[in-house]
Amino acid sequence: MTQTSSDTLRRSLDQVDRERKRTTYLLFGLLAMTAAFWIGMILAKDQDHGLPLGLAAIMGTVYCAAMMAAKTSHENTRTILKAIELLARDGDDSGRV
């Protein structure tokens, strides 16, 4: 693998790692907000206060599911790039023996 290809692969892997971390932080924030909305809905005094919290809780749950799908996609991309990097490194080492 050429140096340019190796650098490009490394930059791509670093970018996927940054996105994965960002997605993880966002997911935990969404989970905390969603839990707060569910608890607020359950403890609401009446329907007028509980309904908006319930709608927000449902929307938060849908957003959390979407973020988990994005996180899975980032993990799959990271695994593929890591495998390509390892294969390229093994190919370079076998040619130098």
Q: Which residues of 34-45 are buried (b: 16+ CB within 10 A; e: fewer)?
A: beebbebbeeee
Q: Look at residue 9 and tell me if it is in a domain.
A: no
Residue range(s) defining the domain that contains residue 81: 19-89
- Say what the pTM is: 0.71
Per-residue pLDDT reduced to its tens digit, 25-75: 999 999 999 999 999 999 999 989 899 999 999 999 999 999 899 888 888
Largest CA distance in the chain: 76
How crowded is the C-beta side of 20, counted as CA atoms within 13 Å? 14
Q: Look at residue 8 and tell me if it is in a domain.
A: no
Q: How many domains does the chain have?
A: 1
Residue 11 pLDDT grade (very low, low, confident, very high; cuts 50, 70, 90): confident
Q: Look at residue 79 and tell me if it is in a domain.
A: yes
